[in-house]
Amino acid sequence: MAFARASDVSLWYEVHGHDGPPLLLIEGLGYASWMWFKQVPAFSRFYRTIVFDNRGVGKSDKPDIPYSMAMMADDAAMVLDAAGIERAHILGYSMGSFIAQEFALRHPDRLHRLVLGGTSPGGPDVVIPGPEVIRAMTPDPNLTPEENIRRGLSVAAMPGYYDSHPDERETIVRFRLAEPTPVYAHRRQSEAAARHDTSARLGHIKAPTLVIVAEQDAVVPPENGFQVARAIPGAKVAVIPESGHHAFIEKASLFNQIVLDFLLDVDEKEGRA
């Protein structure tokens, strides 16, 4: 547990597991490294698993300046530098997958394999969520922070999922309240995510890529993931059935196995396992 530091920002990161190739996990809008609570125990058995808080959330700095996916991709590279890692597998989810796309384009020599979940290319053909989902995900100044968190979770999973899994819901609410994201920082991340557009550049990604699509994703509609997969040469697609945007929580065992099958197969072939 440490900080990666640059002239303009300090980013909190943690390293789990000591053996195996490095795997960097990049979280989505408004979430910090604690959101990987169902992935770190599984992945760190095989990988040196690095998680970090993007600028704007968690223990990392929250500068009130314009953010961009390119900036945050460079942040991810800075975390690898601080951890003494030259190259890594990258797994990004939701906004984290936008950052991971930019990482693959800006730092191709630092990337082994790429996993993109809940993802989108942005650009003119992006499929946007419905207005009720956008409303639920947008903080309402008339609500308390806890009310806004619960409102967002109501559309992040399949209907009724968090009602039937209250321990998971309360874990996420507790984490977010313990490390609150200022309204301005959430807005800075949201604005950066809204500007994301790799649609004309995805064909330049050369790393073997897996795109994971949640079948009932209301936040990042599934067609966006299929667009990404079609644009990246040789990309594979895995669809997680009966799952919403939080497929990595709702179907964690399946999600984790899909990721491990993809990465371990590659590492065994290349002698890195």
Quick count: other Cβ atoms within 10 Å of Cβ 159?
11
CA atoms within 13 A on the CB side of 157: 21
Q: Say which residues have a Cβ less than 8 Å from residue 131's Cβ, sequence separation at least 6.
A: none
End-to-end CA distance of the chain: 25
Distance separating alpha carbons of residues 98 and 120, to the nearest angstrom: 7
**What is the CA angle 139-140-146, rounded to 5?**
70
**Per-residue confidence band for 33, with pLDDT thresholds at 50, 70 and 90:** very high
For the cut 90, the answer to whether the pLDDT of residue 7 exceeds it is no
- Asked if residues 249 and 38 have their Cβ atoms less than 8 Å apart, the reply is yes
Please return the burial class of 245, using the count of CB atoms within 10 Å of its CB with bins 0-12, 13-18 and 19+: buried
What pLDDT shows up at residue 269?
55
Quick count: other Cβ atoms within 10 Å of Cβ 116?
30
According to DSSP, residue 140 is labeled P
Distance separating alpha carbons of residues 85 and 25, to the nearest angstrom: 14
For the cut 60, the answer to whether the pLDDT of residue 272 exceeds it is no
Is the pLDDT higher at 140 or at 269? 140
For the cut 50, the answer to whether the pLDDT of residue 246 exceeds it is yes
Q: Provide, rounded to the nearest whole percent, the portion of the chain with pLDDT above 70.
A: 97
Distance separating alpha carbons of residues 31 and 166, to the nearest angstrom: 19
What pLDDT shows up at residue 273?
47
For the cut 90, the answer to whether the pLDDT of residue 266 exceeds it is no
What pLDDT shows up at residue 8?
85
Please return the burial class of 161, using the count of CB atoms within 10 Å of its CB with bins 0-12, 13-18 and 19+: buried
Residue 38 φ then ψ, to 5°: -95, -5
Region 223-245: mean pLDDT is: 98
Region 112-129: mean pLDDT is: 97
- Record the tokens describing residue 95, joined without a space: 């906004």
Region 142-163: mean pLDDT is: 95
pLDDT digits (tens, 9 = 90+) for 49-77: 999 999 999 999 999 999 999 999 999 99
pLDDT digits (tens, 9 = 90+) for 191-204: 999 999 999 999 99
For the cut 60, the answer to whether the pLDDT of residue 175 exceeds it is yes
Q: Report pTM.
A: 0.95
Q: In which order are the strands placed within the sheet that holds 2-5?
A: 2-5, 10-16, 48-52, 22-26, 88-93, 111-117, 209-214, 236-240
**Per-residue confidence band for 178, with pLDDT thresholds at 50, 70 and 90:** very high
15-19, 211-215, 250-254, range with the lowest pLDDT: 15-19
Q: Provide, rounded to the nearest whole percent, the portion of the chain with pLDDT above 90.
A: 91
Q: What is the overall mean pLDDT for the chain?
A: 95
pLDDT digits (tens, 9 = 90+) for 92-105: 999 999 999 999 99
Q: Say which residues have a Cβ less than 8 Å from residue 116's Cβ, sequence separation at least 6.
A: 92, 97, 100, 101, 209, 210, 211, 212, 225, 228
- Asked if residues 118 and 219 have their Cβ atoms less than 8 Å apart, the reply is yes
For the cut 50, the answer to whether the pLDDT of residue 256 exceeds it is yes
**Per-residue confidence band for 271, with pLDDT thresholds at 50, 70 and 90:** low
Domain ranges of the chain: 2-270
Distance separating alpha carbons of residues 74 and 68, to the nearest angstrom: 10
CATH number of this structure's domain 2-270: 3.40.50.1820
